[in-house]
């Protein structure tokens, strides 16, 4: 498949970038590791201090935080270089760079930000936390559980990307004003995802599963994976929600692309310099 060939090429470029300057690479890994850990350290310290959060035990919270870190690491490793923060590319006029490539637009978005080695700084800590917590929780890992885990990770990824692209589409109509709106949307998700939402008021919980769907990033899928809720149908809700968000996002994004086809980029002069 062409996707696999391009992923291999981009992975090789990512690896050569790391190996050409190991000192810079180590500095990058350490700093990025701290950045990712700070996103969940608040919930981790609360769980350690009070031996859990609400009805969740400390180990259950640690597993959820590991899942959240893993999902964000996969986003950074597959959709780097401002693919996940799509409003930057639209607002800065860089979308033209994608459109002139000799491949489909959606294929370019899928492979253009593939940096698997750079993304290890988040995926590895997430996996370590999940394995350590899973051992203490005595999780029975079966083929069915692994299938449910894979489906929910993909679902969480879909929700995050759909939310970022949905808000990022505003940059088609307001390039300057909405240039950083995807980063703000992702920041909201990062700030809300580390906490169990059991006991939250129904109205607020509904908002955290729809308006700002942070609950689908870790809390809801982990409930099924840990057996806090029935694996079926609970384990299928996050993938289904991802499909719904993606369908809405594609609809809005296509409208934005049609508008872009008439107006083009307003951020570059004819010589190519950014306004």
**Average pLDDT value for the chain:** 88
Q: How would residue 96 be classed by pLDDT, with cut points 50, 70 and 90? A: confident
pTM: 0.90
Q: Is the pLDDT of residue 170 over 70?
A: yes
Q: Which of 14-18, 60-64, 69-73, 108-112 has the lowest mean pLDDT?
A: 14-18
Nearest C-alpha neighbor of 2 from the set 104, 81, 123, 91: 104
Buried b vs exposed e over 18-55: b needs ≥16 C-beta within 10 Å?
beeeeeebeeebeebbeebbebbeebbeebeeeebbee
pLDDT band, residue 38 (cuts 50/70/90): confident
More confident: 22 or 175: 175
- pLDDT-wise least confident of 8-12, 121-125, 170-174: 121-125
Q: Is 50's pLDDT higher than 80?
A: no
First and final C-alpha spacing in the chain? 39
**pLDDT in the model for residue 92:** 84
- Rounded-to-integer distance, Cα 194 and Cα 42, Å: 8
pLDDT tens-digit readout, 189-229: 988 888 899 888 999 999 999 999 999 999 999 999 999 99
- Partnered with residue 56 across adjacent β-strands are 53
Predicted confidence (pLDDT) at residue 269 exceeds the cutoff of 60: no
Residue 72 has pLDDT above 70, yes or no: yes
User: Is residue 266 packed enough to be buried (19+ CB in 10 Å), middle (13-18) or exposed (0-12)?
Assistant: exposed
- pLDDT band at residue 268 under the 50/70/90 scheme: low
Helix (H) or strand (E) holding 27: helix 22-38
pLDDT at 275: 54
> Exposure of 15 by Cβ count < 10 A (0-12 exposed, 13-18 middle, 19+ buried)?
middle
What pLDDT does 51 receive? 76
Residue 266 clears pLDDT 70, i.e. is over it: no
pLDDT grade, residue 35 (50/70/90)? confident
């Amino acid at each position: 498949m062409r996707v696999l060939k391009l992923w291999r090429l981009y992975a090789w470029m990512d690896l050569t970038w790391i190996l050409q300057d190991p000192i810079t690479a180590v500095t990058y890994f350490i700093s990025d590791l701290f950045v990712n850990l700070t996103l969940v350290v608040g919930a981790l310290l609360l769980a350690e201090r009070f031996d859990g959060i609400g009805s969740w035990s400390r180990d259950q919270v640690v597993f959820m935080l590991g899942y959240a870190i893993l999902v964000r690491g996969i986003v950074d490793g597959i959709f780097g270089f401002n693919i996940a923060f799509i409003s930057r590319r639209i607002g800065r006029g860089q979308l033209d760079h994608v459109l002139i490539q000799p491949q489909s637009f959606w294929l370019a978005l899928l492979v253009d930000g593939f940096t698997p080695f750079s993304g290890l700084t988040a995926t590895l800590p997430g996996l370590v936390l999940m394995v350590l917590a899973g051992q203490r929780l005595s999780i029975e890992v079966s083929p069915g559980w692994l299938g449910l885990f894979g489906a929910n990770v993909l679902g969480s990824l879909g929700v995050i990307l759909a939310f970022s692209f949905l808000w990022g589409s505003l940059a088609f109509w307001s390039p300057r004003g909405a240039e950083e709106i995807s980063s703000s949307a992702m920041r909201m998700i990062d700030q809300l995802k580390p906490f169990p939402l059991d006991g939250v008021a129904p109205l607020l919980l509904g908002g955290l599963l729809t308006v700002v769907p942070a609950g689908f990033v870790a809390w809801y899928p982990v409930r099924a994976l840990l057996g806090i809720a029935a694996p079926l149908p609970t384990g299928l809700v996050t993938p289904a929600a991802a499909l719904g968000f993606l369908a809405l996002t594609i609809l809005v994004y296509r409208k934005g692309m049609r508008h872009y086809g008439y107006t083009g980029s307003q951020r570059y002069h004819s010589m190519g310099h950014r306004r």
